[in-house]
Amino acid sequence: MQNTQTNERIFHLFEQLRSGSETAMGELYADYSSSLYGQVYKLVPREEEASELLQDVFVKIWQNIDSYDRNTGRPYTWMARIARNRAIDHLRSARSKRNEKTDGLPDYVTNHSRLAEEQFVDAIGLGKVVDQLDPKYRELIEFLYFREYTQSEASKALDIPLGTVKTRARKAMQELRQILQSEIRSPLLVLVALCELISKSLKIIFQAWT
């Protein structure tokens, strides 16, 4: 009963947001900023960055409110997805993890390493291939492959059961292989791409079956 009342309150606030109500946005922020901050902080555990990203989350909620359809899911789930996606976008664009690992190295070393990796990924089209995955698989690969999370860590970050992570990991790997074989015409590049994928994500395959 309480969940129903909570959803109805958010539905009401959403309707007011569609009319441009700043008061409704203030109430939404007061009610849900803490929980959405928690969603962001799981992925970006740095208070200042997480706080800035939270502001972006509410801007995106405001800008995209017309795209919400109450028949497709709960309103909080929709907002939480926006929060997680904003955090993931931040991590991808800033390459936070790489920067933390390479602090203190000369710029020419880190720049050369980054450029070499980006050129290789571009050459085999792996980044574009991942973008073609089903969104729920793409989000998981972002964690397991690009961010090198364990499946347990990804389960906590995405707030989904570990069993679901394992199932999605298997299916994501199958889709990636199929897309690589259909999208990359050169047999050599397919082989290179698969080797790159397997070498960096062997733990994904292993964990998915354990």
180-195 confidence digits (pLDDT tens): 666 555 454 555 555 5
Residues 63, 146 share a domain: no
Whether 140 maps to a domain, the answer reads yes
Over residues 124-152, mean pLDDT: 74
Q: How many domains does the chain have?
A: 2
| 3-state SS string for 79-98 | HHHHHHHHHHHHHHHHCHHH
Residues 200, 130 share a domain: yes
CATH classification of the domain holding 147: 1.10.10.10
Whether 120 maps to a domain, the answer reads no
For the entire predicted model, the pTM comes to 0.52
Whether 170 maps to a domain, the answer reads yes
Structure token digits, residue 74: 């709960």
Determine the structural domain holding residue 167 and report its residue range: 125-208
44 or 114, which is more confident? 44
Whether 100 maps to a domain, the answer reads no
Residues 172, 132 share a domain: yes
105-114 confidence digits (pLDDT tens): 444 434 434 4
Whether 102 maps to a domain, the answer reads no
Whether 110 maps to a domain, the answer reads no
Residues 88, 8 share a domain: yes
